[in-house]
Chains A and B, each alone.
Chain A
Amino acid sequence: MPDNTSVMVLDDEPIVGDRLRPALAKGGFDVEIFTDSTAAIERLKQKAFGVLVTDMKMRGPSGMDVLRFVREHAPNTQVIVITGYATIETSHEANALGAYQFVAKPFKMKELVKLVEKASKLTAS
């Protein structure tokens, strides 16, 4: 079972990680920040996170690829997908792959933290 307080944030925009880290840490989470999806996948191979917050469009493997990888290797990890360009197709695809929630940018940090909290409870149960 993954450690439900461990959260990975993956977004190629460094500011997203910078802002989310203190906010999530304040909520009692153990946060790891990645801006490169290849490195993130490498880390996911080593550790099962409670919650993964990932951007959709990135250089290299996309958020969808990361989601697929997590489904295969860590089925208990809850995944929250954030994207700058939300379409019905991508949200359907993410849901079909078992994403916990689909969030459009720009998002409210408070709401995202709440989502992470809910997702982590799901992981724990």
Chain B
Amino acid sequence: MQPAAGRSSDAPAASPGAPHDREALNPADRLQRAQHALLSRRRLSIRLRLVASLLLCFCLCCAFAAAAKDLLGRARGKLNLLQTIERLDDRILRVRAFEDEGILSGTDIDKVLEGARDAEDLFRKEAPALQAADREVLPALLAHLGTCRRLLTAVTTQGRERGGFGVLTPTQAGELRHAEAEANRLLEAMIRRERVSLSAIFRFAETGPLVLVGILLLLFAAITYCFAKALVNPIRRFEGYTSRIAVGDFSLIGPARRYRDEFSDLAVAVNQMLAALQEQQNRLVKGARLAVVGTMTSGIAHELNNPLNNISITAETLMEESTTLTDEDRWRLLQDIYFETERASEIVKSLLDFTRQEKREMVPLELGEIILSTLRLSQNEMNINNVTVAYDVPPDLPRIQGAANQLRQVFLNLFLNAIQAMPSGGVLGVSAAVRDQAGVCVEVHDEGAGIPAEILPRIFDPFFTTKEPGKGTGLGLSVSSSIIKKLGGDIQVASELGKGTTVHVCLPRAEEQ
């Protein structure tokens, strides 16, 4: 029934038949203590968790978008760089093409110089980009380009002096070619390297979204799992509470987790409701107790009027015959009055004992004593209905755990029902026996007409009665059942038409020290 059994320490704050110290607390204190236990935990609301989860997802998406933007920027930079390097490479190649002859004409010199300047300008302009791309190659490249410029400048100066022709010495030409070839080689190596890194960026850009989808999937699964747990488990638990409350167990809900959330607020509200229900139930039990006394009015009136009548007529005799009576007679009459007064006050006392509100303490009780005192209370009802008792309760019965007056109320209900079921007399059977290690069972049997099978399931319903108006409230069995369940026991009825009805009441045994 209860999910997540390990954590369901939401054991009712005071389970039926629970330790006495719990029972001894008054209901308001119990409620306050339960509410405090529920509310003193750290709050971690479902709303907060929902917002946090969504924020987490949002942040993740933002981070991915930023990463994608950065990646694109880097790709664009690489592409520009690649272009620059290619242009540079191209300029140098072009310059090299003019130099092939070894002798440069005037126009050639201009072109070579222009090409070299162009290359140098480009190089200067893109120096930061190149520097960022490759720090190690750059000085070498710079040195080679410097060499080219130095040589070309020298040739140009010479050429101008000579009137248009610039001639390189074989050493100079070799040096120039070597420098240019080295520059080309370095640039091409750079191009290759940049291409590789660019394709790596593209590869990363292809796999990135797939990775993100995977991560989001895992994240969603985790979030779903957490929320399912945070929502479904408490709902299951509350289902358990409702079925427990439905059978009359009004013990308060205690904390089940380390933190509190909206369900804790619900638990607090349910506890409020339980306290109110308990209050109502107590009032109902008390009302039903007074009502059962009401159904005994004929018996009580009879039982009280008989001694009163005896006192009245004896006193009348004393007054009327005061002169003729002997001392001995007078003594006998006074004694009658004395004992009849005792008898009347006994009746009043037993009624008061029964209706008195007792502390709802669970104490070990002798079942036999409870049954006998209740039988005494209903004795007169039995007398006037010609009902006799077959009493079979062993004196060595283990003690049971319960509240004396509530049990008296239950048994009085059962006895009166049995008596009323036998209007023309019969035998009321009362027996008890040990059921098992945990409980003791009492059987109350009558020889009445029995209860038809179709109404048997309804007899514990509140206000259900088969008695004529004014004779029964329909609360007797309903209240009896709720009392027995509250005491941690069980009540069942078996009936056979024409043979009679048997009520089984089982109660938990007291833990003997």
A57 pairs with B383, CB closer than 8 A: yes
B314 pairs with A15, CB closer than 8 A: yes
B305 pairs with A106, CB closer than 8 A: yes
Q: Which of A14-67 contact B (CB under 8 A)?
A: 15-16, 18-20, 22-23, 57, 59-60
Give Cα A96–Cα B26 distance, bound, in whole angstroms: 57
Q: Is B312 an interface residue (CB 8 A)?
A: yes
Q: Is B317 an interface residue (CB 8 A)?
A: yes
Given known A-B contacts A15-B310, A59-B383, A108 and B316 have beta carbons under 8 A apart: yes
Residues from chain B with a CB closer than 8 A to the CB of A16 are 309-310, 313
Q: Is B39 an interface residue (CB 8 A)?
A: no
Q: How far is the CB of A82 from chain B (nearest CB, A)?
A: 8
Q: Interface size for chain A: under 10, 10 to 19, 20 to 34, or 35 or more residues?
A: 20 to 34
Q: Is A110 an interface residue (CB 8 A)?
A: yes
Give Cα A59–Cα B297 distance, bound, in whole angstroms: 18
Q: Is B211 an interface residue (CB 8 A)?
A: no
Residues from chain A with a CB closer than 8 A to the CB of B317 are 19, 22-23, 109
Residues from chain A with a CB closer than 8 A to the CB of B466 are none
Give Cα A19–Cα B316 distance, bound, in whole angstroms: 9
Give Cα A123–Cα B314 distance, bound, in whole angstroms: 29
Contact residue among A15, A57, A108 (Cβ-Cβ distance under 8 Å from B302)? A57
Q: How far is the CB of A119 from chain B (nearest CB, A)?
A: 19
A105 pairs with B336, CB closer than 8 A: no
A15 pairs with B336, CB closer than 8 A: yes
Residues from chain A with a CB closer than 8 A to the CB of B304 are 84
Q: Is A69 an interface residue (CB 8 A)?
A: no
Q: How far is the CB of B308 from chain A (nearest CB, A)?
A: 5
Give Cα A57–Cα B309 distance, bound, in whole angstroms: 14
Counting chain B CB atoms within 10 Å of each CB, which of A15, A20, A57 scores highest? Answer: A15
Chain B interfacial residues counted at CB < 8 A: 25
A109 pairs with B384, CB closer than 8 A: no
Q: How far is the CB of B470 from chain A (nearest CB, A)?
A: 11
Give Cα A54–Cα B301 distance, bound, in whole angstroms: 18
B305 pairs with A85, CB closer than 8 A: yes
Give Cα A87–Cα B297 distance, bound, in whole angstroms: 11
Residue of B nearest to A90 (CB): B298
Q: Is A93 an interface residue (CB 8 A)?
A: no
Give Cα A27–Cα B309 distance, bound, in whole angstroms: 21
Give Cα A15–Cα B334 distance, bound, in whole angstroms: 12
A13 pairs with B309, CB closer than 8 A: yes
Interface of B: prevailing SS: helix
Q: Which of B298-331 contact A (CB under 8 A)?
A: 298-299, 301-306, 308-314, 316-317, 320-321
Residue of B nearest to A13 (CB): B306
Q: Is B280 an interface residue (CB 8 A)?
A: no
Q: Is B175 an interface residue (CB 8 A)?
A: no
A60 pairs with B305, CB closer than 8 A: no
Q: How far is the CB of A59 from chain B (nearest CB, A)?
A: 6
Q: How far is the CB of B343 from chain A (nearest CB, A)?
A: 10
B301 pairs with A85, CB closer than 8 A: yes
Q: Which of B361-409 contact A (CB under 8 A)?
A: 383-384, 386
Q: Is B340 an interface residue (CB 8 A)?
A: yes
Give Cα A4–Cα B204 distance, bound, in whole angstroms: 131
Residues from chain A with a CB closer than 8 A to the CB of B309 are 13, 16, 84, 105-107
B302 pairs with A109, CB closer than 8 A: no
Residue of B nearest to A82 (CB): B309
A105 pairs with B316, CB closer than 8 A: no
Given known A-B contacts A13-B309, A15-B340, A84-B301, A110 and B384 have beta carbons under 8 A apart: no
Residues from chain A with a CB closer than 8 A to the CB of B336 are 15, 18
A108 pairs with B312, CB closer than 8 A: yes
Q: Which of B50-97 contact A (CB under 8 A)?
A: none
Q: How far is the CB of B503 from chain A (nearest CB, A)?
A: 26
Give Cα A107–Cα B303 distance, bound, in whole angstroms: 15
Counting chain A CB atoms within 10 Å of each CB, which of B297, B313, B316, B317 scores highest? Answer: B313
Residue of A nearest to B302 (CB): A84
Give Cα A123–Cα B313 distance, bound, in whole angstroms: 26
Given known A-B contacts A15-B310, A16-B310, A19-B314, A105 and B305 have beta carbons under 8 A apart: yes
B313 pairs with A106, CB closer than 8 A: yes
Q: How far is the CB of A26 from chain B (nearest CB, A)?
A: 9
Give Cα A105–Cα B304 distance, bound, in whole angstroms: 10
Q: How far is the CB of A81 from chain B (nearest CB, A)?
A: 14
Q: Which of A71-109 contact B (CB under 8 A)?
A: 83-85, 87, 104-109
Residues from chain A with a CB closer than 8 A to the CB of B314 are 15, 19
B298 pairs with A109, CB closer than 8 A: no
Residues from chain B with a CB closer than 8 A to the CB of A22 are 317, 321
Residues from chain B with a CB closer than 8 A to the CB of A104 are 305
B316 pairs with A110, CB closer than 8 A: yes
User: 26 A-B residue contacts at CB 8 Å?
Assistant: A16-B310, A19-B313, A19-B314, A19-B317, A23-B317, A57-B302, A57-B383, A59-B386, A60-B386, A83-B302, A84-B301, A84-B303, A84-B304, A84-B306, A84-B309, A85-B297, A85-B298, A85-B299, A105-B308, A105-B309, A106-B311, A107-B309, A107-B312, A109-B313, A109-B316, A110-B320
Which A residues contact B (CB, under 8 angstroms)?
Answer: 13, 15-16, 18-20, 22-23, 57, 59-60, 83-85, 87, 104-110
Given contacts A16-B309, A84-B304, A110-B320, 10 further A-B contacts (CB under 8 A): A16-B310, A22-B317, A22-B321, A23-B320, A57-B384, A85-B301, A105-B305, A108-B312, A109-B317, A110-B316
Closest 8 CB pairs of A and B: A84-B305, A106-B309, A84-B302, A105-B309, A106-B312, A15-B310, A57-B384, A85-B301
